[in-house]
């Protein structure tokens, strides 16, 4: 204890030599504070007995970051020494307890604009804290150290001197950024200097969830004629699957197998079938037989139906309701903008006496345009141009509103149709597929037909749109380009708008004496029960003016080594003759249909014989398209068939191709051949 006064003197001397002399007022305040703290020593929790805590002490001790050691309150001598040391430090450096940083002892080499005291936080002096404002007093001023006082502290004078705070930082380090002098900016990283790539964000974002939905149906199985000789199905003139397959291949990916409906690929193309002569019998039927390109020993039996084409003068007036999906899911270039352009093309094909109304639906449904003559094109185009995407998808409410408007427009001898344009994402109101199907079926009986145009991908509900079109006596098409919109709504406007028959069904009875096995290629979602064929209450497909329908069976003769099944031990022997002396007939084709304004069906029949053998261009091209669909669906019945075989078959059977659709098909086959090779690597 005798040496400590000498150590304290040396410490005070060193501190006086290191810092400038403080002013008298600062010295007085520091000594007064130190004496008050000294008088409080020896009492339990002396520091906490005062109404206002000495926050300047807390700042000093916390900033020094000194370890807490055991200090007994009874050791008044050691405590006194610590308090006196603190007083000396405060006297020599009053900036510790002032609520502002010390002025800079040096000048900057770069001149700095002098900040205004009223606007610069660095030059503002905080008012003394009051007991009611202890939280503000706890905050250290800029540039100062925060110190914490523990209840028991032992100070080392040598360490106190060594850890004495350095001189205040230069002014530029204390001033806010906006008050600093303009200095040359630091070089920016290279990534900040280069312009951002448009797709840079896409690389960091996870891929969008694919919510495209297709109705999955197992491929038609091989049937044994002796056990199940009758095949029944509804015709299909839809083309949506072909357009979807084309889009997928052009985007560099193989289409989903469940998205491939082979009958829609085949029926995408027109065929040179014989034309019917009148509207009273609006169909002609033709059958051809040819060897199966991928399976020697079997034959392809192709059934072709050609519908009567209406001349422009024969077309009735059309009442059309454009039912347009304007929900948020339609906000994409290949959705609502393409949709509106498609309707603009259709508008150019209408006659002045036709009528157009527009219903849009998003969060709710509403009439955008009341029934308007097609001659007022400017008014209709203006209504289309006001549409934009946003909100949910109240598809059910939109359908109800559109049907109500269509029924009000309907007149005797005219065609009334709702054209639904959507991606199929119905998520508000009536959205259950079964409920929507029942709704459409009920409205179908009123004489209002429904066609569906699908748009976009990533959220495309093909399964729902197929159901709606099938139950609404209408056609389903997928619009992926403006060229496809032209094909459907301009070149095929008569077929799209003017029906010549409804509830069209096909039933084929095979002769077990000549045909051992058969299978229908495609039409999985159009299958009907045998008893449905003669039941006029069962709905089936619609055919528009000029439409053609193609169906292909692969059949196996009874004496062919290509048979996949054997006769059963207890099966009845196949009849060699049938009533009516059918002889060598292979099958008997029946076609049932209703005229658009009738409720009773009519029947057309035709036998199939070896005389129907044909190796025509139309038959070979249809076979090439069927084989292409089989490969896309990974059919087990194609043997060694490859895309190169399909390409050669189609190339030699292009025939007349005024719009280039068959040539485009060749390009798709080449793409599929390349992409399938990549998938196998």
Q: Is 80 exceeded by the pLDDT of residue 183?
A: no
What confidence tier does 128 reach under pLDDT thresholds 50, 70, 90?
very low
Phi, psi at 456, each rounded to 5°? 80, 180
Cα–Cα distance between 494 and 346 in angstroms, integer?
Answer: 11
47 alpha carbon, distance to own chain's centre: 67
Average pLDDT on 31-53 reads 52
Give the Cβ contact number of residue 182 at 10 Å.
8
How far is Cα 600 from Cα 463, in angstroms, rounded to an integer?
Answer: 30
Percent of the chain with pLDDT strictly greater than 90? 51
- What was the pLDDT predicted at 497? 92
User: What is the predicted pLDDT for the residue at 279?
Assistant: 84
Whether residue 403 contacts residue 443, with contact meaning beta carbons closer than 8 Å, is answered with yes
Looking at 259-332, list the stretches that DSSP marks H as alpha helix, in order from N- to C-terminal side: 262-266
Q: Which among 57-66, 162-171, 183-192, 369-378 has the top mean pLDDT?
A: 369-378
pLDDT at residue 51 greater than cutoff 50: no
DSSP 562-631: T--S---TTSPPPPS--TTT-TT--EEEEEEEE-TT-SS-EEEEEEE-GGGB---HHHHHHHHHHHHHHH
The pLDDT assigned to 677 comes to 80
Query: What Cα–Cα distance (Å) separates residue 208 from each residue in 200, 203, 459, 462, 647?
Result: 16, 12, 10, 19, 34
| Position with higher pLDDT, 576 vs 416 | 416
Mean pLDDT of 399-412: 92
CB 529 within 8 A of CB 232: yes
User: Which residues are registered as beta bridge partners of 301?
Assistant: 289, 553
The pLDDT of residue 169 is 43
* Residue 358 CB partners (closer than 8 Å, separation 6+): 321, 322, 324, 367, 368, 369, 380, 383, 384
Range with the poorest average pLDDT among 72-86, 287-301, 593-607, 636-650: 72-86
Mean pLDDT of 30-49: 54
How is residue 80 written in tokens?
Answer: 């006194």
Residue 570: predicted pLDDT: 87
Report the percent of the chain where pLDDT is more than 70. 66
pLDDT at residue 278 in the model: 85
Interval 466-513: pLDDT, tens: 888 888 888 999 999 999 999 999 999 999 899 999 999 999 999 999
Q: 492: which residues sit within 8 A by CB, 6+ positions away?
A: 544, 546
Question: Above 90 in pLDDT, residue 602?
Answer: yes
Identify which of 425, 489, 432 has the alpha carbon closest to the alpha carbon of residue 462: 425
Q: Which domains does the chain have, with CATH numbers?
A: 4-179 (no CATH), 223-310+500-558+582-679 (2.60.40.1230), 312-497 (3.40.50.410)
Q: How many CA atoms lie within 13 A of 356 on its CB side?
A: 26
Least confident of 135-149, 247-261, 604-618: 135-149
pTM of the model: 0.69
Lowest mean pLDDT among 60-69, 387-396, 423-432, 636-645: 60-69
Question: With 60 as the cut, is the pLDDT of residue 153 above it?
Answer: no
pLDDT value at position 300? 98
pLDDT value at residue 4: 57
Mean pLDDT of the 248-258 span: 95
Q: What pLDDT does 143 receive?
A: 42
Q: Which residue has the higher pLDDT, 127 or 230?
A: 230
pLDDT band at 440 (very low <50, low <70, confident <90, very high): confident
DSSP 350: S
| pLDDT of res. 1 | 45
**pLDDT at 374 > cutoff 80:** yes
CA 481 and chain centroid, separation: 18
Residue 615: what pLDDT?
87
- Better-scored residue on pLDDT, 126 or 526: 526
- Give kind and range of the element (H or E) at residue 16: helix 4-18
Paired with 464 in beta bridges are: none
Q: Return mean pLDDT, the chain.
A: 78
Which of 168, 146, 129 minimizes the C-alpha distance to 60?
A: 146
């Amino acid at each position: 204890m005798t040496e400590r006064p000498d150590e304290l003197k040396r410490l005070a001397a060193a501190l006086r030599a290191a810092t400038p002399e403080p002013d008298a007022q600062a010295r007085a305040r520091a000594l007064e504070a130190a004496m008050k703290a000294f008088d409080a020593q020896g009492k339990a929790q002396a520091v906490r007995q005062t109404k206002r805590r000495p926050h300047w002490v807390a700042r000093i001790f916390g900033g020094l970051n000194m370890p807490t050691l055991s200090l007994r309150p009874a050791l008044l001598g050691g405590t006194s020494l610590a308090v006196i040391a603190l007083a000396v430090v405060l006297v020599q450096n009053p900036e510790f307890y002032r609520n502002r940083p010390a002025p800079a002892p040096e000048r900057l080499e770069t001149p700095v604009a002098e900040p205004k005291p009223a606007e610069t936080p660095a030059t503002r002096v905080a008012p003394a804290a009051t007991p009611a404002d202890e939280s503000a007093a706890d905050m250290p001023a800029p540039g100062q150290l925060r110190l914490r006082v523990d209840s028991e502290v032992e100070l080392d004078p040598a360490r106190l001197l060594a850890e004495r705070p350095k001189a205040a930082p230069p002014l530029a380090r204390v001033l806010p950024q906006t008050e600093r002098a303009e200095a040359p900016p630091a070089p920016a990283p290279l990534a900040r200097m280069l312009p951002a790539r448009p797709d840079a964000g896409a690389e960091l974002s996870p891929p969008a969830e694919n919510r495209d939905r297709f109705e999955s149906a197992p491929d038609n199985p091989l049937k044994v004629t002796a056990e199940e000789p009758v095949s029944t199905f509804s015709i299909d003139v839809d083309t949506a699957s072909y357009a979807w397959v084309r889009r997928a291949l052009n985007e560099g990916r193989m289409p989903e197998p469940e998205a491939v409906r082979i009958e829609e690929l085949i029926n995408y193309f027109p065929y040179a079938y014989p034309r019917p002569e009148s509207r009273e019998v609006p169909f002609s039927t033709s059958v051809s037989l040819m060897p199966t390109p991928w399976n020697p020993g079997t034959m392809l039996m192709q059934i072709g139906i050609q519908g009567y084409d209406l001349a422009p003068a024969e077309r009735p007036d059309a009442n059309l309701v454009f039912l347009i999906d304007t929900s948020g899911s339609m906000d994409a270039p290949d959705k609502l903008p393409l949709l509106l352009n498609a309707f603009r093309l259709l508008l150019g094909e209408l006659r002045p006496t036709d009528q157009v109304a527009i219903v849009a639906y998003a969060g709710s449904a509403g009439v955008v345009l009341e029934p308007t003559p097609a001659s007022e094109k400017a008014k209709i185009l203006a209504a289309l141009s006001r549409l934009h995407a946003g909100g949910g998808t109240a598809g059910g409410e939109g359908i109800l509103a559109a049907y109500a408007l269509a029924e009000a427009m309907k007149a005797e001898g005219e065609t009334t149709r709702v054209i639904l344009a959507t991606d199929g994402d119905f998520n508000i109101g009536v959205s259950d597929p079964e409920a929507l199907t029942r709704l459409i079926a009920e409205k179908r009986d009123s004489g209002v037909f429904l066609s569906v145009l699908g748009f976009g991908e990533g959220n495309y509900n093909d399964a729902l749109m197929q159901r709606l079109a099938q139950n609404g006596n209408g056609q389903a098409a997928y619009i992926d380009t403006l060229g496809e919109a032209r094909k459907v709504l301009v070149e095929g406007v008569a077929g799209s708008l003017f029906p010549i028959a409804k509830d069209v069904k096909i039933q084929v009875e095979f002769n077990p004496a000549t045909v051992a096995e058969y299978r229908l290629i495609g039409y999985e979602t159009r299958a009907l029960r045998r008893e449905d064929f003669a039941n006029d209450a069962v709905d089936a497909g619609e055919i528009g003016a000029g439409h053609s329908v193609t169906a292909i069976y692969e059949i196996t003769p009874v004496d062919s080594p290509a048979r996949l099944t054997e006769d059963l031990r207890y099966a009845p022997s196949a009849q060699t003759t049938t009533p009516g002396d059918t002889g060598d007939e292979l099958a008997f084709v029946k076609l049932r249909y209703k005229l658009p304004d009738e409720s009773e069906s009519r029947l057309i029949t035709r036998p199939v014989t070896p005389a129907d053998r044909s190796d025509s261009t139309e038959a070979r091209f249809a076979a090439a398209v069927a084989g292409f669909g089989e490969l896309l669906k990974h059919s087990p019945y194609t043997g060694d068939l490859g895309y190169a075989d399909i390409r050669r078959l189609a190339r030699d059977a292009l025939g007349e191709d005024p719009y280039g659709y068959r040539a485009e098909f060749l390009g798709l086959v080449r793409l599929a051949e390349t992409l399938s090779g990549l998938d196998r690597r």
